[in-house]
Amino acid sequence: MSKFWSPLVKSLVPYVPGEQPKMANLVKLNTNENPFGPSPKVIEAIQSELNDSLRLYPDPEGESLRQTIAGYHNVKPEQVFLGNGSDEVLAHIFYALFQHGQPVLFPDVTYSFYPVYCGLYNIEGKTVPLTDSFEINPEDYKQPNGGIIFPNPNAPTGRYLGLEHVEAILQANSERVVVVDEAYVDFGGESAIKFVNQYPNLLVCQTLSKARSLAGLRVGFAIGHPDLIDALNRVKDSFNSYPLDRLAQAGAQAAYEDHEWFQKSCEGVISERERVTKSLESLDFEVLPSKANFVFARHKERSGGSLAKELREKGIIVRHFNKPRISEFLRITIGTPEQNDALIAGLKSL
């Protein structure tokens, strides 16, 4: 700890991202990256931007990309906010839209960046326990709060909350912003974006990192009422007016325009997810119902920590969270058929 650190930095407990190991011949199933790669049209679009125009600043508003996303989701461009990955979008949401004086509510088993943002912006956070079956109970969110945020499907559990239950949370909290973090929604869920014109307190956050295979470009966005988007733009332009470079904007737009590739990729992940689930269950794993590109599973006899360690020794990396309620679970990204075969073979040998 440096004597030059501010008091805030001394108190921060940063987010720990999934490991990016430098091992050869690795079966990497720990960071929820899409195994099928981006559309070839994305590569073409990025290559077309590799010219003298790189000396110029990118469009700070990302107008063309916002129009493309708005058209796809049947909203207006002024209802779309862009950011450097959904993590930056979420950071701006915490700063711009959640109220001080009452706690921000989020599940006890969820994306671990939420409490980090609370610490960064000096916001009180309050965890709401999932049910015994690791589901969100909308009744638990009928309490005083400064805002609500939850992933849908949830991470790391993969469980999906039906939109009728999302709507119940919105109706019970009409005076507070409700953020639905939909990083994994394209793998079998239905987006709450359909509600944004009906509920001015709803903000939906998505990313191109998962279903559109662009984790390396860092593109995220939020969709909601123009008043909410205006607040996010005020924070963005007080922080970094150019969050998306030219290559990211071009690649992201091409990804949205190639719907056939996107659909094929999602179907491939869903098919492999079902196959992996059945294989795990045959090996005495309990697997939570998943609508994400990963499964959350625990063995009936073996500890999660020891399984993760022994798989690693075989060159297979999965995510283990040594945290209350979920320490026996493994979060396993759905990989290519070959990677998934290696995972199942590795588990059988253990």
Query: Closest Cα partner for 224 from 97, 131, 106?
Result: 97
The amino acid that residue 199 corresponds to is Y
pTM: 0.95
Reply yes or no on whether the pLDDT at 1 is more than 70.
no
CA atoms of 337 and 333, how far apart (whole Å) = 12
Given 210, 237, 258, which residue is the final one in a domain?
A: 258
Q: What is the longest distance spanned by two Cα atoms in the chain?
A: 60
DSSP string of 105-129? EEESSS-THHHHHHHHTT--EEEE-
Question: Domain count of the chain?
Answer: 2
Measured torsion, CA atoms of residues 125, 131, 137, 141, in degrees rounded to the nearest 10: -20
Q: Average pLDDT, stretch 109-126?
A: 95
Q: What is the pLDDT of residue 25?
A: 77
φ, ψ of residue 147 to 5 degrees: the values are 145, 160
What is the overall mean pLDDT for the chain? Answer: 96
Residue 18 has pLDDT above 80, yes or no: no
pLDDT band, residue 6 (cuts 50/70/90): confident
Other C-beta atoms lying within 10 Å of the C-beta of residue 188: 19
Q: Which of 219, 234, 258 is the last residue of a domain?
A: 258
Task: Work out the percent of the chain whose per-residue pLDDT is above 90.
Answer: 92
CATH of the domain at 156: 3.40.640.10
* pLDDT tens digits, one per residue of 306-336: 999 999 999 999 999 999 999 999 999 999 9
User: Do 203 and 192 meet the contact criterion of CB atoms below 8 Å apart?
Assistant: no
Q: CATH number of the domain that 318 lies in?
A: 3.90.1150.10
Which long-range CB contacts under 8 A does 131-138 form with residues at least 24 apart? Answer: 134/109, 134/159, 134/288, 134/296, 135/159, 135/161, 136/107, 136/161, 136/165, 138/165, 138/166, 138/168, 138/169, 138/172
The answer to whether 205 and 182 have CB atoms below 8 angstroms apart is yes
pLDDT of residue 12: 84
DSSP 84: S
Q: Quick check: is 43 in a domain?
A: no
Residues 117, 250, single domain; the answer is: yes
User: Do 239 and 287 sit in the same domain of this protein?
Assistant: no
Closest CA to 240 of 65, 93, 83: 83
170 and 22 together in one domain: no
Which pLDDT tens digit goes with each residue over 53-82? 999 999 999 999 999 999 999 999 999 999
Q: Is residue 46 part of a domain?
A: no
- Domain ranges, residue 232: 56-258
**What mean pLDDT do residues 141-160 have?**
98
> What is the Cα–Cα distance from 23 to 158, expressed in whole angstroms?
28
- 160 within a domain of the structure (yes/no): yes
Residues 100 and 242 in one domain: yes
Residue 50 in this model has a pLDDT that exceeds 80: yes
- When pLDDT is cut at 50, 70 and 90, the band that residue 115 belongs to is very high
Q: Is there a domain that residue 50 lies in?
A: no
Among 229, 258, 287, identify where a domain stops: 258
